[in-house]
Amino acid sequence: MKSINKVDVWLGAISALIGAVFLYAASQASASVFVLEGDIPPYLVPKYVLYLWIAFSLAISVGGLFGRGASFPPVRWGPWAAAVGIVCVGALALPWVGFLPAAVSMVFCMMWALGYRRLAPAVIIAVASTLAIWALLVLVARMPLPTIPGLGI
């Protein structure tokens, strides 16, 4: 039973489960699409990528069962519970304060809760990572995000 307490066994198993859920969703979505004779079925490439994802995940898990894997280190659950609480509060605040302030405050508070205590680098990392994600989602992917009320940003 010691092999079940290894990080890579759990990582592989959880990743395979996530891949299976995505594969099921892709199969359900492709079943409702009309395909003409000779056309490539929709979601063909994502399904193959998910098959590879699941195969590699299971390989990681099996390798962890029979090989030397890393075991779980002792965990302090307080900071992780605080991180989950910060994400929940930030997600609930998104509609009222907008993406940019909510994400900056979530990243900063999460860094602080997980033990990073240098103030200036934490602020710089929080702002820079949030701006990078915002630019990627809004400018590149054209995904609408909640804006700051009154400013439209």
Which ranges in 67-150 belong to alpha helices (H)?
77-97, 99-113, 119-134
Bigger pLDDT: 66 vs 15: 15
Burial of 20 (C-beta count, 10 Å sphere; 0-12/13-18/19+)? middle
- The pLDDT of residue 9 is 82
Task: Report the b/e string of 73-87 with b at 16+ CB within 10 A.
Answer: eeeeeeeeeebeebe
Q: Which is nearest to 103 in space by CA: 95, 91, 113?
A: 91
Reply yes or no on whether the pLDDT at 74 is more than 80.
no
pLDDT at residue number 72: 62
How large a percentage of the chain has pLDDT more than 70?
Answer: 92
What per-residue confidence (pLDDT) applies to 71? 62
| Beta bridge pairs of residue 142 | none
pLDDT at 2: 56
- DSSP conformational letter for 33: S
CA distance 133 to 99: 10
Model confidence over 97-145: pLDDT tens digits?
Answer: 999 999 999 999 999 988 888 999 999 999 999 999 999 888 888 888 8
Instruction: Please determine, for residue 87, whether its predicted confidence score (pLDDT) is greater than 60.
Output: yes
Report pLDDT for 8: 80
- Report the C-alpha gap between 147 and 33 in whole angstroms: 34
The first and second tokens of residue 98, run together, are 């907008």
The residue ranking higher by pLDDT, 86 or 114, is 86
pLDDT over 60 at 1, yes or no: no
**Residue 108 pLDDT:** 94
Mean pLDDT, the chain, whole residue set: 84
- pLDDT value for 143: 83
Other beta carbons within 10 angstroms of residue 138's beta carbon come to 15
Residue 69 has pLDDT above 80, yes or no: no
| Confidence category of residue 67, pLDDT binned at 50, 70, 90 | confident
